[in-house]
Chains A and B, each alone.
Chain A
Amino acid sequence: MPNHRQNTFMHPKFAVVGHPNKGKSSIVAALALDDSVHISNTSGTTTKKRSFPLRVDGKVLYELFDTPGFQRARRVLAWLEKHDVSADKKHEVVQAFINEHKEDARFNDEVELLEPIMDGAGIIYVVDASKPYGEEYEAEMEILRWTGQPSMALINHIDDTDYSAEWKRALGHYFKMVRTFNPMQTNFEQHMSILESMAQLKEEWIAPIKVSIKLFTQYQEQMFESSASLVARLVYESVSTVEKLYFYTQEASEEEKGKIERNYKDRLRDFEISTQKSIEEIWNHDHLQKEEKVLTFEGMDLFSEETASVFGLTRKELLITGVTSGAVTGAGIDLLFAGHTLLLGGAIGALVGGTGAYFGFNELSEVKVLGQTMGRRYLEMGPMENRNFPYILLGRAMYHTMKVAQTSHAKREVFDIEMDQTFKEKWLDVTSRKSLEKYHKKFRSGKALDAVDLKAYEALLNHILRHLIDG
C-alpha cells in the first residue's frame, strides 16, 4: 500500500505547488502568518519543501507545505508516461519516480514538491493571472493529476494586469475548484474563506479545518488583547515613570539637569521601541523592516504644536478634554471661545481643568529637587504632566499596531510608518477621548495602578484597535 492511503486519517495537509516564482511562498507566508519565509523575485528561491503546521498546544491541526516550483516538468511527465499504467495505479508510478530520483540532483525540485503530495497532502496549485496563460503549464498540471490527490487552483495576481478569464478556462480542465487569493492584501475573512475552500478538498478535512478556523479567531483575539495590554502598559509606564538623579553638591548643576532630562526622554523612547518590538512579535512580524521617525522631543517633535496636531490633540482639543474631565457643568464650550467669558462664567472646576490643560501643553514635567535630608539630594522628573503626551504616544502606538496587523506576512519591502493627518480622526473621537482622559489623569496622579482600571483601559484600547483594524 502506498503511503498516502495509510495517512488519510492524519491531520489535513496541503502542498502549495506551481510554476517557479508565481507566489507560492508568498501565499504560504500569508496563510501561515510567517514572515521568515524566503520570498524573492528570483525564480527557484525555494529549493526545499518546508512545513508550516497550525499547532495548538503542540497538537497539529493541519499542515501547509511550501515547495519549490517545477523545473523539469516535461521530463518528469515523460518518465511517468513511459511507465504508464491504468488510472488507479498512476499514483504508484509517481511514488516510483520519487523513489528512483531521490538522489538525482536534476529532479530535486520535483521530488521535493511531490513528496508531501504523495504523503497525503491536498494540492494547491498557484498561478499568476497577471501573466497570460501558457502551454508550458500543462505538463505540471498533468503530473499533479497523476498523483491522484485532491486539488484546487489558487489564482494570484503579482501585478495589475488581468488574464484570469483565460486562466480560469485552462484551470477548469484540471481543477474542480478555482479560487482567487491575494497574499499581499489579505485580511482575516479572506484568509478564513480560503481555509474553508481547502477543507472542501476532502470530506474528512472539513471538521478539523472548522476547528482550525475557530482557533484562528481565538488567535486573533489573543493578538488584539495582547497588543492592547502592551499599549496600555506603554502609556501607563510612560506617563507615570519617574526618573531620579542623585547629586551630592549643594545645588544641582545645569549639566545634571540636562542629564536627567535626557535620561527621562531616553527612557520614554526605549519604552516605545520595546513595545513596538513586542507588538511586532505578537503579530508574527519579527522580521519587519521599518522606517520610522523615533519619538523625538525636539524640532518637529512630540511637543511641537505641529506634531501635536497630527498625532495628538491640538491645543483647542486639549482644552475641551481638560474641561470636560474637570467640569461639573457643561460650561466648557463657552470656555473654548475664552476671552472675557472665561472669567465671567463657568464652574470653578471647568476653569481649573481647562486652564490647566492650556498651560500644561508645553511642559513635559518639571525637574524637582527632592530629598533635602541626609545629604542625599536628587533631581526628579515625572510623572508626565504634558496632557498631550499620552495621546501622541497612543496615536503612534495605534498606528503602528494597525500597520503591523494589516501588513501581509508575504511583504518583504521596508515598511514605512508615516502617519498622515487623517489618522487622528480615525482613531480618536470625542467619546473615546473623554473615556481615555479619565485614565490618563489617573496615570498622571502617581497613584498605584488599579487592576480594574488597567483592565478597563485595555478594553478601551482593544475596542479602538478592533475598530481601526477590522474597519
Chain B
Amino acid sequence: MKKLMLGNEAFARGLYEAGCKVVSSYPGTPSTEITEEVAKYNEVYAEWAPNEKVALEVALGASIAGARSFCGMKHVGLNVAADPLYTASYSGVNAGLVIAVADDQGMHSSQNEQDSRHHAIASKVPMLEPSDSAECKDFVKLAFEISENFDTPVIVRMSTRVAHSQSVVAAEDRQELELKEYIKTPQKYVMMPAYAKGRHVFVEERTNKLTEYAETSPLNRVEISENAEFGVITNGAAYQYTKEALGDKASVLKIGMVNPMPVKLIQDFAAKYEKIYIIEELDGIIEQHCRNIGVNNVQGKEIFGYIGEIPQSVIAEKILGEKKEFVSLDENIPVRPPVMCAGCPHRGLFYCLKKLGVTVSGDIGCYTLGAAAPLNAMDTTICMGASISGLHGFNKARGAESEHKSVAVIGDSTFMHSGMTGLVNIAYNNSNSTVIILDNSITGMTGHQQNPTTGKNLKGDPAAAVNLEELCKAIGIKRVQVVDPYHLAETEKAIKEELAADEASVIISRRPCALLKYVKHNPPFAVDSEKCVGCKACMKLGCPAISVKDKKAVIDHTQCVGCGICQEQCKFNAIK
C-alpha cells in the first residue's frame, strides 16, 4: 500500500523489510524517529544506548554474531562513535551492519554544521545518500547487501530535509533471515597489529572494488535532458532542489553513493557538456573528487558556498538569474525563539544561578535555553559532556577564585552519555568543582526518549534505573545533595553551600519534565490585579505563561501548570 512516510519512518521500514534484528542507537535530531519507528516492529530488538560509541559497538557485536544490525545517530554522534567506526572498517562484518548519520544542513537543531561525508572517506567505509522517503527504504535494503557482499559497515547519510519530509512509499514484506553462522576468526575480528596489517590491505582492495561497483550501481543515476545546455552533478536533498529549479534545462548526474565515488561515470558525463555545475550542500567533496580525476569543467563552491542549504531559489538565481517576487510588511515583526515550557523544572534552577551571578559551564539539552533572555545564565556550550570536563579545566586555570563561583550544569541523559567520565576526572584529579545534574527523568530536547536513569527502556517497559546519588558517591564525590527546583529558596541555599565548600560536590536538581504524561500538575495560578503593583519580578523567570497587560501581570491559564515559582517571587502576594 502507498503511504506518506517521513524519511525516517521509511528508513525504519527498510530496516524491517531487510530482516534487521538488532538496533542500538542514541537519539539526536534529525535521526531519532528511525529508531523510535523501528522499535514498533516486534520482530526487531531495539534499544537506546547511553551514547553513540556504545550503540555502534552493540550493533557491530550483533553483526559479528550473525544478525543484520543497525545503529542511528545525528552527525555529531558519529564523532563520538568514530573510534569503533574506523576499526569496524577493518574488521568488516558477518551479517550486514548499517549506520545512519543525519546531517543538519542549515543547523535547524544542532551545535555545528559538519559534513559527515568526511568520516566515510577517512574511515574508508561506503556511504549512501537518499533524496526522498522511497529512496530511504530502498537504499537501506541495498546497504545491507553491500555490507555483506563487500564485508564492510555501510553508512547511510540522512539530512534534516530528507529525514523530516514525508513522501510516498510503497511498503513491502519483511525478508526473514536466519542468523548467519558465527565462526571464530581472530584474523578478522581481533584487531591487534599483526592482524590489522592484513586487514588494511583488504580495506584498500575493497575500496577499489567499491569504486568499480559505483560505476554501474543503480545508486548513481544519469538523467539526460535533450534540451540541456549544461550538466549538474548533485546528491541528497540538493537533487530535489536542482530538479525543481532547473527542470529539463539541465542533465543531471545524481550521486547516490557518495563514498567511494565513480570515476569513469563522472568523466563521461562531464565530457558531454561544456559546463558542469556541482550542487552539493556543505563541503565541496564531489567537486574535489572531480578535480582529482581530471574533470575540470566544474563549478561549485565558488558559486554556492559552504554554508547551509542550497534550496531551489538559490539555484534558480545563481544559474538562471531568475528571482521570485514577493511582498513583506514594513513592520518590525518580533522573533519567536524557542523557550523552556511553562513549568519547566530547569527554570527555577537557572533563575537561582542568574541571581547568584555564577559562571555556568553549560551543556546540551532543553536546559541550553537557560542561555537565552531573560535568564542569560550560561557561559559555554560545546558538546555533550563538555560542561563537567570544561569546568574542571576552567577551575584548574583560575584556581580558587573561580572554584567558589562557577558551576557545571548537565542533563540526566547527557550525564549518562559522557558526563560521568568528566566527573571521574574531577574526583581523581582533585578539583573543587560544583556540578549540577538537571534530572528531569527524560531526554527532553530530542522529544522525550527514555535513558538509563528513567527506569524504562525504549519500548516503554520497566528497566533498571541508575541511582545518580550512589553513582556520584561511588565515583568519589562525598558531597551530594538533592534539591527540588520548584523550591527556589532551597535550591539557592544548596548552590551557595556547595560553592562555599572546599571539595568537589554534586547537586541533583530533581523534578520530572513538565510535559511528561504521568506528571500531575497543580491547578493554574492567577494574578490578583488589585494586589499586583506591576513590579515585573515574576517576569524575570521567563515563563511563557506570564505576560503584562495594562501594567499588570497576567497568567495564561491554558499554559500555566501551577509550578508555583512565580508565586514565590511575588512580594505582594498577588499570585494565587
Q: Verify that A and B bind, or say they do not.
A: no
A residues with a Cβ closer than 8 A to B are none
